[in-house]
Amino acid sequence: MLHANELPEPSESALAVSNELRDYIRRAIATHGHIGFDDYMQMALYKTGLGYYQAGAVKLGTEGDFITAPELSPMFGSCIARQCREILENTGGRIFEFGAGSGLLAAQILADLEKTGGLPESYEILEFSPLMRERQRQTLAQYVPTLLNRVKWLSQLPQAPLDGVILANEILDALPLKCFKTIAGKIYERRVHLVGNEFSWLDAPADPLLSKQVRRVVSRNIINHSSEYVSEINIGVQPWIIDMSRMMRDAVALIIDYGYPRQEYYHPQRSNGTLQCYFRHRKHTDPFRYPGLQDITASVDFTNVAEAVDICDLQILGFSEQANFLLATGLLDEAEQRSSTVNDVGRLRIAHEIKVLTLPTEMGASFKVLAVGKGYNLALSGFKLRDDRRRL
């Protein structure tokens, strides 16, 4: 983990965009004196034309700030496609993806489903950024040009009830967060104010609602301890799940992200929380550095997600570490098939991809897959090796 001062310098044009966003956030703080970190994160990531996910810089891949599983290996998409095919055989209908990133996962899934004759009626992508839409369109035109007419881009959730599959790959980790601190029985909200002209943390007594939320998820021993305990709560999960449930009829949602069940998330030894930032493949913990140019994320409390699922009368169909899910959906078969068509260098690359996707020290254990269903109660092959829903 780097210190923010060790990060590379952005270009002059990128800094100009960041400074414009910084001025916008400063004005918001000046109006109120201080703002919640969730408000800061909302502006830093999603402010129209300036926020990280709204501006035009490359986010994914070697030229961006981080690499997701679809950029790492096409085998990830092939495994997801196998699970999609199984679901679609029983539901028919469409695939709907929240924020398709580079578009590679959509391209991989459509390519695999075309080979097996299991294409959905349509592939819908919810994407608010015109620049990201165009990037996704270019990716799909490159890899599956004959299937581009099946892809639809949406700027809001679909009104028609959805039968089929919903995909959310690394979506929940970027929802705006409330940050908090506890010490000696007191609970503080970590807010954002200005010191001079720079953003800085401000610890203010938490309001009754946040205090109640913290006491619900953090043990009494941690709260009452004399040492500081810093963490975060993802307040956007429940509204997100509610919105998703309203669009589902006979459907399964696959939620893929890094995170923990609550008992592990709010562990005494995780006393600095999980908030982290990514800039040009460097990971650090200063969210005030280069607003609009860096990603800001936190791990997912999957117990929080499960509670929201329960409120919405949805059903949890499976929960597993990514490694188990990919192995159950044919990762090794896929690797063997691909290895038979490449040279030694290609086989070494495939072996490396398997290691990164499955090893506990890489993505295999930190990433989880949660399947949520509505009107669907059949077993899913992705959880036949291991189903850890009891941990939730």
Q: Is the dihedral of CA 289, 295, 298, 304 positive or negative?
A: positive
CA 50/CA 41 separation, integer angstroms: 12
Tell me how many degrees the CA angle 154-157-163 measures, rounded to the nearest 5: 100
pLDDT, residue 8, reads: 81
CA 125/CA 155 separation, integer angstroms: 9
Q: Classify 192 as helix, strand or coil.
A: strand
Q: Classify 380 as helix, strand or coil.
A: coil
**Other C-beta atoms within 10 Å of 186: how many?**
13
pLDDT, residue 61, reads: 47
CA 182/CA 226 separation, integer angstroms: 9
CA 139/CA 299 separation, integer angstroms: 28
Q: Which region holds residue 78: left if phi is over 0, alpha if psi is between -120 and 50, else beta? A: alpha
Q: Going from the N-terminus, what domains does the chain have, and what CATH number goes with each?
A: 69-174+238-266+299-391 (3.40.50.12710)
pLDDT, residue 55, reads: 72
pLDDT, residue 233, reads: 98
CA 91/CA 118 separation, integer angstroms: 12
pLDDT, residue 63, reads: 53
Average pLDDT per block of 10 residues along the chain, 392 residues long: 70 91 97 97 95 69 68 96 98 97 96 96 95 94 98 94 98 97 98 97 98 97 97 97 97 98 97 94 92 96 98 96 98 95 94 97 97 97 98 97
pLDDT, residue 6, reads: 76
- How far from the centroid of its chain's Cα atoms is residue 98's Cα? 10
CA 307/CA 299 separation, integer angstroms: 16
CB of 29 closer than 8 Å to CB of 194: yes
